[in-house]
């Protein structure tokens, strides 16, 4: 009877390639999922802050497909000009109210348009 003494096998070291692949995939995922830009901010004044009001009312009703200034339907292009007629300065408060069909995006678009026209004191009411 002969015993063969085979050489003991060296244990294989685990490959690190799959683990490195997973790490890179996670890195790519989190880089794509994160936001690198600065969020845009729109300054707002809280309604009921007790500030003084001067001049005629300036209530902008924002609906899904239309705008109304003090209850009068108006084209978006004419809104800034009409508000300019009703205000003494660009810092006079302009009250915004969203209607039932208006979403947040529509409200932000109107706020941006008013901000670009120079109105800096926007008040949002419910």
pLDDT band with cut points at 50, 70 and 90 for residue 97: confident
Structure tokens at 13: 């070291």
pLDDT of residue 119 exceeding 70:
yes
The pLDDT value recorded for residue 56 is: 74
- Full DSSP string of the chain: -----PPPPPPPPPPSHHHHHHHHHHHHHHHHHS--SPPP----EETTS-----SS--EEEE-SS-EEETTEEE-HHHHHHHHHHH-SSTTS-EEEEE-TT--HHHHHHHHHHHHHTT---EEEE-
The residue that leads in pLDDT, 57 or 96, is 96
Mean pLDDT of the residues in the chain = 80
User: Nearest Cα to 92, choosing from 36, 65, 53?
Assistant: 53
Interval 72-81: pLDDT, tens? 888 888 888 8
Decide if 35 contacts 29 (C-beta within 8 A): no
Interval 40-93: pLDDT, tens? 666 665 555 555 666 677 888 888 888 888 888 888 888 888 888 888 877 788
For residue 122, list its beta bridge partners.
Answer: 94
The residue that leads in pLDDT, 11 or 43, is 11
The residue that leads in pLDDT, 15 or 37, is 15
Class of domain 56-125 (CATH, top level): alpha beta
């Amino acid at each position: 009877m002969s015993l063969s003494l085979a050489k003991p096998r060296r244990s294989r070291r685990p490959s690190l390639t799959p683990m490195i692949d997973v790490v890179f995939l996670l890195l790519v995922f989190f880089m794509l999922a994160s936001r690198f830009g600065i969020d845009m901010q729109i300054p707002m004044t809280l309604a009921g802050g007790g500030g003084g009001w001067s001049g005629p009312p300036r209530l902008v009703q924002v609906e899904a497909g239309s705008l109304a200034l003090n209850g009068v339907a108006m084209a978006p292009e004419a809104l800034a000009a009409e508000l300019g007629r009703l205000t003494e300065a660009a810092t006079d408060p302009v009250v915004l109210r969203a209607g039932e069909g208006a979403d947040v995006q529509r409200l932000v678009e109107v706020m941006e348009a008013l901000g670009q026209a120079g109105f800096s004191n926007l008040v949002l009411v419910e």
